[in-house]
Amino acid sequence: MSVEVRVPTVLRKHTGGARVVQAQGNNVAAVLESLEQQYPGLKQEVMNEEGKVRQFVNIYVNDEDIRYLQSLQTALQDGDSLAILPAVAGGATSIATPSFGEGDGRPIPSHLVGEGQDGGAVRLSDNGALQVW
C-alpha cells in the first residue's frame, strides 16, 4: 500500500526538509521500515530499541491515534494518511547542548546568529561569549 506520511518540523532534518513523503507498507510498522530505508535515522526518532513507539511521539492514521487502533499493526489502505507528532514544549532553553553546526539541521543553542561579511558566522554562546568562525 502506498501512503502519504506527514513529517513534523522537528523530524524534517531526516527527509531533507520534506513535509510530506510517500512510503509503502501494509501496516504502520512496515511503513516505518519503508521510511527508514528512504530516510535513515528517522525510525529511531519514533521508535525505541524495543521496537515500541516512543511515549512522547504519537502516530495518527487518518487523524486517529494508532493507540486506539491496532498500534503498529494498524492496517493501511492505498491513499491513507499517516502523521507523526512528537511533543513540543515551547521557548525555554533545553538542558542538552547539541554541538554547534550550521546547515546540518541540528539545533544551535545560541541567542544570536549572524553572517559575517566574508561569509563567516558570528554568534553569542550561551555564556555570552562572542564566537567567530
Partner 1 sequence: MSIETNAPSRTLTLDQIRRYQRQIIMPEVGSIGQRKLLDAKVLLIGAGGLGSPTGLYLGAAGVGTIGIVDFDVVDMSNLHRQILHGHADIGRPKVESAADMLKDVNPDVEVIGFNEPITSENAFRIIEQFDIVVNGSDNFPTRYLVNDAAYFKKKPLVDGGIFRFEGQATVYMPGQGCYRCLYPAPPPPGAVPSCADAGVLGVLPGIIGSIQAVETIKLILGVGDPLTNRLLMFDSLAMEFREVRIRRDPNCPVCGDEPSITELIDYEAFCGGPAALALS
**Which of 49, 50, 78, 96: binder of partner 1 (CB under 8 A)?**
96
Contacts of 46 (CB under 8 A, 6+ apart): 11, 32, 53, 54, 57, 59, 84
Does position 131 bind partner 1 by CB under 8 A?
no
Out of 69, 83, 121, 122, name the contact with partner 1 by CB under 8 A.
Answer: 83
Name beta bridge partners: 64.
61
Q: Could you tell me how many residues of this chain bind partner 1 (CB under 8 A)?
A: 34
* One residue of 4, 22, 87, 102 binding partner 1 per CB under 8 A: 87
- Least distance CB 12 / partner 1 (angstroms): 9
- Report the phi/psi class of residue 43: left, alpha or beta, with left for phi > 0 and alpha for psi in -120 to 50: alpha
Site for partner 1 in 48-67 (CB under 8 A): 54-56, 58, 60, 63-65, 67
Supply angle C-alpha 6, 29, 8, rounded to 5. 20
User: From residue 40, how far is each of 26, 53, 76 by CA, in Å?
Assistant: 20, 17, 22
Q: Which residues sit at the interface with partner 1, rule CB under 8 A? A: 6, 8-10, 19, 54-56, 58, 60, 63-65, 67-68, 83, 85-96, 98, 107-109, 111-112
